[in-house]
Structure 1
Amino acid sequence: MAKIIILYEQPKDKEGFEKHYFDVHVPLGKKIPHIKSESIQRVIQSQNTSLNLYLMTELGFENMDTLHQALASPEGRAAEDDGKNLMEYLYHPPIIMIVE
């Protein structure tokens, strides 16, 4: 299984971030094809980092090929483009990891 994991640090505007993330960004993300699993978790505590982590999103795909196809799809590009709109509410861009 291949996954994309996105880590968000504490937002500068928590209310604005929550509204945009859950009302706009998540619905766009749910349209991305080939998703096998998805989860969003609030970070309660983290160790061995100076980052003030807030939220973790994980999308699972069957394999790396389907992950790349999903991200290249119109729906994947729409979600990626909307990610830029979240920057209004964040101090730092999210950390994005692709793992296998």
Structure 2
Amino acid sequence: MTFRVAVCYGKPDDQAAFDEYYTSVHVPLAAVVPGLTEFTWGKVTSMDGSEPPYYAIANLYFADEDSLKAGLSSPEMKAAGKDLRNFATGGVTMFTQEEVRVGGSVDRA
């Protein structure tokens, strides 16, 4: 099991400005959160061609619940949280999740 923080970004007012700020300023802030084992992000597209509910989603992974709690209460996470107001003009939805691996490879070819 791992623990994840998902950060779901609504569509920003200026997508190019969001992308530039996110990659050059916000990612370095978030990447130093203690206990972080993996950090991914990507822009979202819907599978049916409709407007997706989010512009981008970031995933911050922690090895266990204690690491998650320590990371969430760290000064580094607080700094990253305060930084959201500088670029996340489309709003932010965040949640945590305990992830359980349900099997091995799903390659069925």
Give the C-alpha shift of residue 83 in structure 1: 1.4
Q: C-alpha separation between the residues in 1 aligned to 2:59 and 2:72?
A: 14
Q: C-alpha separation between the residues in 2 aligned to 1:52 and 1:37?
A: 24
In the other structure, the counterpart of 2:94 is 96
Unpaired runs of 5+ residues, structure 1, are none
Structure 2 CA distance for partners of 1:46 and 1:64, relative to 1, 3 Å: farther
Q: C-alpha separation between the residues in 2 aligned to 1:68 and 1:50?
A: 34
Q: C-alpha separation between the residues in 1 aligned to 2:85 and 2:69?
A: 20
Q: C-alpha separation between the residues in 2 aligned to 1:21 and 1:6?
A: 12
Contact 2:46 2:52 in 1 (8 A): no
- Greater share of residues in helix: 1
Contact 2:44 2:52 in 1 (8 A): no
Q: Percent identity?
A: 27
Q: C-alpha separation between the residues in 1 aligned to 2:37 and 2:95?
A: 17
- 1:45-90 deviations in Å (ceiling 9; x for gaps): 156x975321110011011221110121111111111112124xx2
The letter for the 2-side match of 1:23 is S
The letter for the 2-side match of 1:94 is V
The letter for the 2-side match of 1:97 is F
Q: C-alpha separation between the residues in 2 aligned to 1:8 and 1:19?
A: 15
Query: Runs of 4+ in structure 1 displaced over 2 angstroms?
Result: 49-52
Q: C-alpha separation between the residues in 2 aligned to 1:39 and 1:73?
A: 19
Superposed CA RMSD in Å reads 1.8
Counting only pairs closer than 5 Å after superposition, residues 80-91 of structure 1 correspond to structure 2 as: 80-87=81-88, 90-91=89-90
Give the C-alpha shift of residue 18 in structure 1: 1.1
Length-normalised TM-score, structure 2: 0.78
Q: C-alpha separation between the residues in 2 aligned to 1:63 and 1:73?
A: 16
